[in-house]
């Protein structure tokens, strides 16, 4: 990348709203088969807990030099308390996280053996929040955006029940009225609720399901899909993440596929969190979309260097811009 000195990453206030999770990693070794059934026996060595979901986006926004404001819910349980404590240790304000008594904290437990991810166990309830909690979230959002200048809002949607058309429409409407940039990492359920946003970042599987057509990672195919989405959602800028194939970007001016530059992928967990964090911050810095896509592609590759959900620091990213 030429003249990387012009890729200045300023400090912004970014509000992240989405599904919070506790990512738990259970590491062990497998050396035998169980005598009770034809399954391997894992001898546990270590357990590691990390903030996941929208919380990992907040961590990435912070590691890239900006100030995150995290909105979400946790259960009144041990994982919820642990998630709050981990966030506090990482310097993330938890004042806008609501504790819900009748709902568990979402926990994703990944079983790891010899550097391989062999199983994931999910503990969650993904029904929509009751209207009282929805109203609390909206009130917290309105209050914060009146008190503090928010530069961008990131919706990090995993279809775990926090976000629905009521909350989404309220926040997008408020953001448009205040000139706040909006970025979305969608999932299937609320996909078509995110109208008139600044930046929309689905993946290939989600696109194929929503437009009800198989979409291959070829420019003509992706351009057709992008046109159909644009007609329905009226976004300003689109990225489609293509896994090992890289990133497709599209704006009113141009579209292109940028192949991934990462050759040895250790783990893709959390790469999407890094991409939306970096892209949002560079959109705020008014770079051209092709430059933002290239930088985001590099950032996503850096996130694949280690096991588990990852964060990428500002210095790491800037050093990689060569």
Catalytic residues: 273
Q: Which H/E stretch holds residue 97? A: strand 97-100
Q: Are the CB atoms for 312 and 303 separated by under 8 Å? A: yes
Judge residue 256's burial from the number of C-beta atoms within 10 Å of its C-beta, 0-12 exposed, 13-18 middle, 19 or more buried. middle
> In sequence order, what are the beta bridge partners of 27?
46, 112
Number of other CB atoms surrounding residue 179 within 10 Å? 7
Judge residue 7's burial from the number of C-beta atoms within 10 Å of its C-beta, 0-12 exposed, 13-18 middle, 19 or more buried. middle
The answer for residues whose C-beta is within 8 angstroms of residue 192's C-beta and 6 or more apart is 210, 232, 233
> In sequence order, what are the beta bridge partners of 68?
14
**3-state DSSP assignment of residue 112:** strand
Q: Find, among 182, 178, 186, 165, the residue nearest to 240 by Cα.
A: 186
- The token duo for 238 is 């689109």
Q: Which H/E stretch holds residue 131? A: helix 131-147
- Distance in angstroms (rounded) separating the CA atoms of residues 267 and 245: 15
């Amino acid at each position: 990348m030429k003249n990387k000195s012009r890729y200045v990453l300023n400090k912004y206030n970014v509000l992240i709203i989405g599904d919070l999770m506790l990512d738990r990693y259970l590491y062990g070794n497998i050396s035998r088969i169980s005598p009770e059934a034809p399954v391997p026996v894992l001898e546990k060595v270590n357990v590691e807990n990390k903030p996941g979901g929208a919380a990992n986006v907040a961590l990435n926004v912070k590691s890239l030099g900006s100030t995150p404001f995290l909105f979400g819910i946790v259960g009144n349980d041990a994982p919820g308390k642990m998630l709050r404590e981990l966030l506090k240790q990482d310097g993330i304000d938890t004042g806008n996280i609501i504790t819900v008594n009748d709902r568990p904290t979402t926990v994703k437990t990944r079983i790891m053996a010899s550097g391989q991810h062999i199983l994931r166990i999910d503990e969650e309830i993904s029904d929509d929040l009751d209207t009282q909690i929805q109203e609390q979230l909206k009130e917290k959002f309105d209050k914060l955006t009146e008190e503090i200048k928010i530069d961008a809002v990131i919706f990090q949607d995993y279809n775990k029940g926090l976000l629905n058309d009521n909350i989404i429409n309220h926040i997008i409407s408020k953001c448009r009225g205040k000139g706040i940039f909006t970025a979305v990492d969608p999932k299937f359920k609320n996909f078509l609720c995110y109208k008139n946003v600044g930046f929309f970042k689905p993946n290939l599987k989600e696109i194929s399901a929503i437009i009800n057509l198989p979409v291959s990672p070829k420019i003509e195919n992706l351009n057709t899909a992008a046109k159909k989405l644009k007609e329905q959602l009226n976004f300003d800028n689109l990225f489609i993440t293509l896994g090992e194939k890289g990133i497709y970007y599209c704006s009113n001016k141009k579209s292109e596929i940028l192949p991934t530059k990462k050759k040895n992928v250790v783990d893709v967990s959390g790469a999407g969190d890094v991409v939306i964090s970096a892209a949002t911050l560079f959109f705020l810095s008014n770079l051209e979309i092709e430059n933002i896509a290239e930088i985001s592609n590099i950032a996503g590759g850096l996130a694949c260097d280690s096991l588990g959900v990852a964060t990428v620091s500002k210095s790491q990213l800037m050093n990689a811009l060569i």
